[in-house]
Structure 1
Amino acid sequence: MVEPAAPGYLVARAVRMAFLARGTGPRHLTFLPGNLCTVHSWSEVLRRLPEPEYRCLAVDYLVGSDRPWGGWTVSGIADLTRDVLDTSGVSRTVLVGHSAGGLAALLFALRFPERLAGLVVVASGARMTGHRTFDGLAEALSRPEVPQGFLERALTGMWSVPPPVEVLVRDLGLLGAVRERMRDVLLSCADYDLRGQLGSLSVPTLVCQAELDRGRPLAHGQELAEGIPGAQLVRFDTGHMIPLEDPAGLAHALRVFVGTDAWDEETDQREKR
């Protein structure tokens, strides 16, 4: 039986942060969930990364943690990720971000490129213009009272197939109490258009984009892959929730990417010290 990721807490620059961790291997990966997602969206991906080879940390910045120094914003999440790495004693990592977590990962790569052995952007983009569901999500989350049934419809709409009942019930229970945090993260995404800065990224990059995403069009992933020098694009036959709809496919893409591009012998030796 494959053991699940283990929950835990750490304190990074006086901010208490929840996480899931799995593995003790030399290759370190850090995972950021999307907005309207929980850290458990990464559980099945982590389970498919062999423990002897990988050391994985999924950061729960939204539900189980204190307010980041930069607030519940993609900028604050990027800086919080640096603090988590510092506290964990990790010099370099492969950073994997989904949706809003992908935008935070892009900001991290622009600010702290020396901390990255690789960058993986999942169902995200460099801008919010052209995002087909952003306006409706922002309007509903900004109301004094969220419309009845809105969160369930929003979560269901991010899948290309009906989500498993147990996953939907779990996420509704966790996310129902953090509406203002989700609103702040979502609205902060509109502050950024990183297209003009993509060419300055020199980190090995993998872009994973969904063919059936109702929010983020495939063109946003293509734009990232074309704008970041040397970036690879992998398409998934899923909706927005790639980590939940196709965890095996995403884990395979990560294993190939980390094994061939993001890590070399020098990196492995550095992480073993």
Structure 2
Amino acid sequence: MPYAAVNGTELHYRVDGEQNSNAPWIVFSNSLGSDLSMWTPQVAAFSKHFRVLRYDTRGHGHSAAPQGPYTIEQLTGDVIGLMDTLKIDRAHFCGLSMGGLTGVGLAARHADRLNRVVLCNTAARIGSPEVWVPRAARARGEGMLALSDAVLPRWFTAGFFEREPLMLAQIRDVFVHTDNEGYASNCEAIDATDLRPEAPGIRLPVLVISGTHDLAATPAQGRELAEAIPGARYVELDASHISNIEQADVFTKTVLDFLAE
């Protein structure tokens, strides 16, 4: 498995679509409690047109989980550092939830490294201390298995739960094996981040995607984010929080169409 030493942290990453060395790059950033495998439904379609870079956010998957708390500066710096290591001058970026928050930070602070940005099921300010402080404490004190029954039902609609038991078992497996400290430290990074003052300064082409049934990052928050970013467009899918999996085909087409403009 490929790793890169970035900002003092070993980050696990994966590249697809290398057969076309002149293709533009796209970076995918995972949600809290998942890893780069969450983007599997998109890889085949995107690798036909792009060099696809997926990575495990620090504290997740096979990346290292250094002592926290983490910060949005670290999460965005990890992306820039990984791009530097792989000699990627500019890339498109697509992030979901925590990955979307990372994308807001990148678009606001590192616009010279990005082309088009897709912000999914996210907001410039996600949740509140009432959500994140006890969540982090529970991850540290009780572990991820204890959190899974509370968190995962918010990721998908009830219908999806009924239709896709195998896929949900795989997603649950990733969640419960996420490092306790890494998860908690990312909760603290999200809790400490409010990018609402910076969003109006973003000057890149931006697509915001929300899920109609999303309780974690609501459609109202998605619309607020899109309205704050000059020229951003907004699309709402019939999904809950992990829209790229629940509505994989329409998600993929929506993003590809946006990037092809």
Decide: shared fold, TM above 0.5.
yes
Cα deviations across residues 226-269 of structure 1 (Å, max 9, x unaligned)?
A: 11011011111000011111121111112111110xxxxxxxxx
Counterpart-to-counterpart distance in 2, 1:68 and 1:88: 22
Alignment pair present for 1:154 and 2:151: yes
Q: How does 1:131-146 map to 2 (within 5 A)?
A: 135-136=130-131, 138-143=133-138, 144-146=141-143
By how many angstroms is 1:148 displaced? 6.1
Kindly, what percent of the aligned residue pairs are identical? 21
Q: Aligned equivalents of 1:250 and 1:181: distance in 2?
A: 28
Select 1:107's aligned residue among 105, 108, 112.
Answer: 105
Match of 1:23 in 2: 17
Q: Provide Cα deviations, 1:51-100, integer angstroms capped at 9, x if missing partner.
A: 2x211111112121124698644331110000000011110001111001
Q: 1:45 to 1:80 in 2, by over 3 A?
A: same
2:46 aligns to what? 49
Give the SS at the match of 2:214. Answer: coil
Does the alignment pair 1:36 with 2:33? yes
Correspondences of 1:162-181 after superposition (within 5 Å): 162=161, 164-177=164-177, 178-181=179-182
1:60-209 matches, within 5 Å, as: 60-61=56-57, 62-67=60-65, 72-129=70-127, 135-136=130-131, 138-143=133-138, 144-146=141-143, 149-160=146-157, 161-162=160-161, 164-177=164-177, 178-209=179-210
Paired AA for residue 162 in structure 1: F
Q: For the Cα contact (< 8 Å) 1:103–1:124, is it kept in 2? A: yes
Distance 2:96 2:144 in 1: 26
Q: Report the CA distance between 1:13 and its aligned residue.
A: 5.0
Output the TM-score relative to the length of structure 1: 0.83
Partner Cα distance (1:220, 1:195) in 2: 11
For 1:256, the aligned partner's letter is: D
Distance 1:181 1:148, change over 3 A: closer
In the TM superposition, residue 142 of structure 1 has moved relative to its aligned partner by: 0.8
Equivalent residues of 2:214, 2:241 under 8 A apart? yes
Secondary structure of the structure 2 residue equivalent to 1:216 = coil
Aligned residues: 250
Over 3 Å counting, the alpha-carbon distance change for 1:46 and 1:147 in structure 2 is closer
CA RMSD of aligned residues (A): 2.3
> Where does 1:238-249 land on structure 2 (aligned, <5 Å)?
238-249=239-250
1:120 shift after superposition: 0.8
- Matched residue, 1:237: 238
- Please tell me whether the aligned partners of residues 70 and 79 of structure 1 are also in contact (alpha carbons under 8 angstroms): no
CA contact (8 A) 1:8 1:21 kept: no
Q: Rate the CA distance shift 1:69–1:157 in 2: closer, same or farther, 3 A.
A: closer
64-73 vs 33-42, greater mean Cα deviation = 64-73
Tell me the distance in 2 between the aligned counterparts of 1:202 and 1:213. Answer: 27
* Aligned partners of 1:74 and 1:100 also within 8 Å: no
Q: 2:7 touches 2:77 (CA, 8 Å); kept in 1?
A: no
Alignment-mate amino acid for residue 168 of structure 1: L
Contact 2:13 2:56 in 1 (8 A): yes
